[in-house]
Amino acid sequence: MKATLILANGTLFQGRAIGATEDRVCEMVFNTSMTGYQEILTDPSYAGQGVVMSYPLIGNYGVNHEDNESARPWAEAFVVRHLSPEGSNFRCEDTLDSYLKSNHIAGIEGIDTRALTKILRSQGTMNGMITCAEHFNINEVMEKLNAYRVEGTVERVTCREPWTLPAEGERRYRVALMDYGMKRNMARCLAKRGCEVTVLPAGTPAAEVLSGGYDGVMLSNGPGDPADNVEIIKEVKKLYDSSLPIFAVCLGHQLMALATGAKTHKMVFGHRGGNHPVKDIEAGRCFITSQNHGYVVDADTVDPAVASVSHVNVNDNTVEGLKYRRPNCFTVQFHPEAAPGPMDTEYLFDRFIASMGGDR
C-alpha cells in the first residue's frame, strides 16, 4: 500500500506503508542509531513524536519481548529507508512490521531518509503527517500540522501507582525513582548495585518522598518541553532543598535546572542517537553517549553560586551535565543506562551510590 509523509514545510515523500495504516500527525525527529530500534520505540521520551531512522536498514534482527524499555511503545510513527521483512537473530520473536501493526504505530518505508534528515537538520524538527489516502486536501493537512502540539506527555507516560524493583543480592540502599518517562534499564542499573528501587508517579509530592525513608532520589528521563511541568518543578525544588542525595538524567536534569533558576530552550533538531561525544570536564575524558532530547539547559542562565557545568557536548558545546554546590546533587543530559559504550558512563551510577554512603 502506498503512503505519503507530508511535512509542515510542504515537502512530500511517497513510499510504502508499514505498521498501522491510519492517518498519524506527530512531531518528526531523527535518530542516528544503527541498532536499538526496539528500545527507541519503547522509550517514553518519544511520546508525541515520529522517529526517522537515518540508518538505511532497520528491522534486520526483528523484535523480542525482553528489550522493551517500558510496558508499550510510545513513538507515534516510524520512518525508515528499508524495513527488513524478516528478523535474523536467535532472540528474534517477531518481525518489526508485525510489531508496529500490533501496537498501532503508523509508518512508511522506501523514502529518502537521508534527504529527510537533512531537512530536519537544516530547518529543525517539524510536524508531519503519514497518510495512506490516495487523495487528500493539502490545506486541511496543513491546518492539522500547524495545530499539533506535543503536550501533557509526562502525565501520559508515568506509572499510575508506585511499584518496587528489589535489589539484586543484599539490599544496601532504598532509592526513590521519579517516573517522568523512565526507561526500565535505569531501575535495573540501580538494582544491580544493591538498591531497592521504588518507582513513583511523576505527580508524587516531595513531602511523600522525603518521609519515605529513602537514601536517595533519582529523577528520570521523559518527554516534552520541561518548562510545561510547572507543578513538578515546584516539587523538584523541595527535593533540592532537602539533604537527600539526588541524581537526575535527561528531563530530570532539565527539571532540576529549572527548579534552581536556570532556563531551557528548544534545540533546532536535538540530540538523538547512540554516538554523541561528551566531555567530562573534571575527569578530562570524552565519552560516547546515548541521547534523546530536544531541549537543553542554557549555560548562561546557570547561577555559578548554585551549580557549575560538569559535562559539555563536544559537537556543539551545549550543557550535558551540572554539578550542584549543594552536597550530593548532580545531573546529566545523556543516558548512562543506555549502554552505548556499553558501560562507559555507568560510573555515574557508582557516583550516586557513593553519595549515599558507598560500600557500607
Residues identified as active-site = 250, 335, 337
Q: Positive or negative CA dihedral for 5, 222, 340, 167?
A: negative
41: which DSSP letter? H
Residue 75, Cα to own-chain centre: how many angstroms?
Answer: 11
Closest CA to 124 of 226, 8, 281: 8
Gap between the Cα atoms of 228 and 245, Å rounded: 25
- CB contact at 8 A, 357 and 215: yes
- CB contact at 8 A, 28 and 126: yes
Gap between the Cα atoms of 358 and 172, Å rounded: 9
Q: Following DSSP, what letter does each residue of 268-312 receive, concatenated?
A: EEEEEEEEEEEEETTTTEEEEEEEEEEEEE-GGGS-TTTEEEEEE
Reading the block at residue 9, the C-alpha cell is 514545510
Coil, strand or helix: which one is 331? Answer: strand
Distances in whole angstroms, Cα of residue 314 to Cα of each of 275, 288, 290, 295, 301? 11, 10, 14, 17, 20
